[in-house]
Amino acid sequence: MVKLTTTKRERNIFIISIVVPIIALYILFYIFPCIRGLYMSLFRWRGISMNMSFVGFKNFVDLFQDRNFLKSLYNNLYIFFFTSVLLFVFSIFFAVILSRNVLPERNIYRTIFFFPAAVPMVVVGIIAMSVYAPTNGILNTFLDAIRLGSLKQLWFSNKHLVKPSLITFLVWKVLGFYMVLMIAAIQNIPAELYESAVIDGAGTWQQTIKITLPLIWEVVRTALVFFIISSFAASFAIIFMTTHGGPDRASEVLVTYMYENAFTFSKFGYGTTIGVMILVITLILALILLRTTKREVIQY
């Protein structure tokens, strides 16, 4: 009995020694900065001294009267919506194809698709500039080569094309990562379910709709929430590398606008206010998504 009690005590000590440092680091590097950011958003501060002027919620009032902020918010939602739709449609589509045994070289395709996910976003930005360069860019050069020069565009200088151009590379960057998540979820589905569906005369499309999607739905929901959280940082990196929010703020997003206010105009209080709004918007989008995509969990 004493031995069992000692073992239980040692187990509890071990668990505490693992959990407490993790919680402490989470509070130190996530909770505290969020609280500190909320505090700083109530001040006018240039960021170069401790001279901070308390303005209350004036920064938040000014924010919703700021046309550039509202434009950045629209651009962010535009990029997020179309990127997420294309990303998850293609990731599920390729995951279904590559999880089947009909392609003997499927592992090679998985590696090819996943490779961009391992490439730093800075490199992706450089590749994007090489592809969309107006004179000697890969895309315009290719259009010339196939005698479609009339379709050549100033991709990053056209306010109507800059967001679709960026979305293309954002999807290309993370497609492989989410595809691998979907493949892992699909491979956990018992093969007997597909065999029974084939016996009943169900084709590939019916199997995907009736079996695959319902059984991986929780993974899809989790991946969507993760994408919401990570998309703000991902969009900042490629936009800052390529367009800097131009032309005429057509590709400006909340994070680039926050950076501009904080580090270009030295309006750290106002920039922090934008950061707080990014946190709030992210939480709202995540909650809406979890609420609207909630389905009964199917056991198998």
Work out the average pLDDT over 47-75.
Answer: 90
The pLDDT-based confidence of 6 (bands split at 50, 70, 90) is: low
Does residue 300 form part of some domain?
no
Structural domain of residue 278, as residue ranges? 62-292
Does residue 104 form part of some domain?
yes
Does residue 32 form part of some domain?
no
Q: What is the pLDDT of residues 187-240, one digit of tens each?
A: 888 888 888 888 888 888 888 888 899 899 999 999 998 998 888 877 888 999
- Cα–Cα distance measured from residue 259 to residue 237, given in angstroms and rounded to the nearest whole number: 11
Under DSSP, the state recorded for 299 is: P
Q: What is the CATH number of the domain that holds 122?
A: 1.10.3720.10
Q: What is the pLDDT of residues 20-48, one digit of tens each?
A: 999 999 999 888 988 888 999 999 988 87
The pLDDT-based confidence of 78 (bands split at 50, 70, 90) is: very high
- Report pLDDT for 229: 85
Instruction: Please enumerate in sequence order all residues whose Cβ is within 8 A of that of 145, keeping only pairs 6 or more positions apart, or say none.
Output: none
Q: What is the pLDDT of residues 110-153, one digit of tens each?
A: 888 889 988 888 888 899 999 999 888 999 999 999 998 888 99
- Cα–Cα distance measured from residue 188 to residue 124, given in angstroms and rounded to the nearest whole number: 32
Task: Give the count of domains, the chain.
Answer: 1
Q: What is the pLDDT of residues 260-289, one digit of tens each?
A: 999 999 999 999 999 999 999 999 999 998
End-to-end CA distance of the chain: 41
**Which parts of the chain fold into alpha helices (H)?**
2-26, 32-40, 58-63, 67-98, 106-114, 121-132, 138-145, 162-187, 191-199, 204-207, 213-242, 254-259, 268-292
Does residue 36 form part of some domain?
no
Does residue 140 form part of some domain?
yes
- Cα–Cα distance measured from residue 115 to residue 172, given in angstroms and rounded to the nearest whole number: 10
Does residue 132 form part of some domain?
yes
Which neighbouring-strand residues pair with 271? none
What amino acid occupies position 280?
V
Does residue 298 form part of some domain?
no
| Locus of tokens 């392609």 | 103
Q: Pseudo-torsion of CA 83, 87, 88, 94, nearest 10°?
A: 160
Cβ atoms of residues 256 and 222 within 8 Å: no
User: Inter-axis angle of helices 162-187 and 67-98, to 10 degrees?
Assistant: 40
- Cα–Cα distance measured from residue 273 to residue 39, given in angstroms and rounded to the nearest whole number: 9
Instruction: Please enumerate in sequence order all residues whose Cβ is within 8 A of that of 46, keeping only pairs 6 or more positions apart, or say none.
Output: 266, 267, 268
- Cα–Cα distance measured from residue 85 to residue 283, given in angstroms and rounded to the nearest whole number: 19
Instruction: Please enumerate in sequence order all residues whose Cβ is within 8 A of that of 267, keeping only pairs 6 or more positions apart, or say none.
Output: 44, 46, 261
- Cα–Cα distance measured from residue 95 to residue 177, given in angstroms and rounded to the nearest whole number: 11
How far is residue 35 from each of residues 167, 272, 275, measured CA to CA in Å? 32, 11, 12
What amino acid occupies position 236?
F
- Report pLDDT for 88: 93
Does residue 103 form part of some domain?
yes
Instruction: Please enumerate in sequence order all residues whose Cβ is within 8 A of that of 31, keeping only pairs 6 or more positions apart, or say none.
Output: none
